[in-house]
Amino acid sequence: MTNFTAGYFTMTEQEAVEYAKGTLDFFAPDAELSCKEIGDGNLNYVFRIVDAHTDRSLIIKQAGPVARISDEFKLSPDRNRIEYDILRLQGELAPGFVPEVYHYDPVMNCTAMEDLSRFQILRTALGKHQSFPHFADHITTFLVNTLLSTSDLVLGHKEKKELVKQFTNPELCEITEDLVYTEPFFHCPRNDVFEGTRSFVEREVWADETLALETAKLKFNFLTNAQSLLHGDLHTGSIFVTEDETKVIDPEFAFYGPAGYDIGNVIANLIFAYENAKATDGTPEYQRFLLETIEQVVDQFKTKFTAAFRDQATEQVARYEGFLEDYLTGILQDTAAVVGLELCRRVIGIAKVKDLTDIADPERRTTAEINCLTLGKQLILNRRDYQTGDSFIAAIKKEDTP
């Protein structure tokens, strides 16, 4: 019998079954359990365990000591504790939008949680040109509920500072600081640029000193602006969907940072889906759905945030005339910048997205990537200009090469 209390080790599928039987009060004593490791991300091991008698199932997510994307990234397994804590908190703030968590084990650095196998990963579904008309409404509700409710606008300042300590996440933040804000914007050996795109990157990104300066300013905003408790990695691979439901997963990058970071990641990854649809002959109607969704994410966030602020804000000085408008302007400015950063780093850096890499035709992939880089630059350099959904759509269409 495997000892799961003596010290950490990375589990095999069989050991995950043993763990579920011996540690978790979830399955019946006579359960016939099977397990498959289904992790396809960059960091963790994900075990799906199913009872053959009842089809009852759960997920065990275990944090490894190094990233699966590269053993250069040495990581604290404490990120699993952070993920468990934030899922519990998000479950309170945005009920129904995150998986239920059952158990956290600080020795094995794993969390047991709800199995979402009946859902699809949003990135995969968008790659199949599937539409989700409720998504903008769902994700903006999640964003407003989690970002506003964890800010100084609502929380007592001492309570908020305790949360900042609880969710200090230096190893995962360092990955973001390197891969999003730093490495894509110079000739870093770890970058991975598609051959067709490389000359454009060298000329328009790595040689642009103005762009480099602006990314430096944005990096220091990310380092110092503890505005809201972020998911920290809210792309379409971290969102599960059905026709009627949306669940946000994988918040292990959670920490206190600029609220626009989460919003910008959602929008950028919808733009990747849009570029994929154009390159893979998605219908005009489907492309229009993606653009409308981007516009709705921006505008519905603003509308819902305004209403929630007026209902929930407790900070006296935040009620001064004009404060809310200035606060929202800052969030949208940060949002535009993060859209730009994400568009650039997924093309240039080590962590790719299938929306682009799955484009089989080299010329179409090059076109899609250059569209992303051109738009990304404009959003970073002119980030103050994007305050409405239609301003984002106008920027996308301006840089839109068929």
Answer yes or no: is pLDDT of 70 > 60: no
CA distances from 200 to 187, 195, 205, 347 (A): 13, 10, 7, 11
Reported confidence tier of residue 396, pLDDT bands at 50, 70, 90 = very high
Answer yes or no: is pLDDT of 162 > 90: yes
Q: What is the pLDDT of residue 47?
A: 97
Domains present along the chain, CATH in parentheses: 13-114 (3.30.200.20), 120-398 (3.90.1200.10)
Question: Which helix (H) or strand (E) element contains residue 228?
Answer: strand 228-230
Would you say 157 and 318 are in contact if contact means Cβ atoms under 8 Å apart?
Answer: no
Reported confidence tier of residue 64, pLDDT bands at 50, 70, 90 = confident
Of 91, 107, 74, 88, the residue nearest 4 (C-alpha)? 107
Q: What distance in Å separates the CA atoms of residue 23 and residue 229, rounded to the nearest whole number?
A: 31
Average pLDDT of 239-257? 96
Percent of the chain with pLDDT over 70: 96
Would you say 300 and 267 are in contact if contact means Cβ atoms under 8 Å apart?
Answer: no
Tell me what the pLDDT averaged over the chain comes to: 95
Longest dimension (CA), the chain: 66
Q: What is the pLDDT of residue 71?
A: 60
278-311 pLDDT, tens digit each:
999 899 999 999 999 999 999 999 999 999 999 9
Which pTM does this prediction carry? 0.93
Reported confidence tier of residue 67, pLDDT bands at 50, 70, 90 = low
DSSP symbol at 117 = T
Answer yes or no: is pLDDT of 402 > 70: no
Q: What distance in Å separates the CA atoms of residue 61 and residue 238, rounded to the nearest whole number?
A: 14
Q: What is the pLDDT of residue 79?
A: 77
Q: What is the pLDDT of residue 74?
A: 62
Reported confidence tier of residue 44, pLDDT bands at 50, 70, 90 = confident
Answer yes or no: is pLDDT of 42 > 80: no
Average pLDDT of 87-108? 96
Answer yes or no: is pLDDT of 63 > 90: no
Answer yes or no: is pLDDT of 206 > 80: yes
Answer yes or no: is pLDDT of 366 > 90: yes
Would you say 80 and 88 are in contact if contact means Cβ atoms under 8 Å apart?
Answer: no
Q: What distance in Å separates the CA atoms of residue 45 and residue 218, rounded to the nearest whole number?
A: 32
Of 271, 309, 367, the residue nearest 145 (C-alpha)? 309
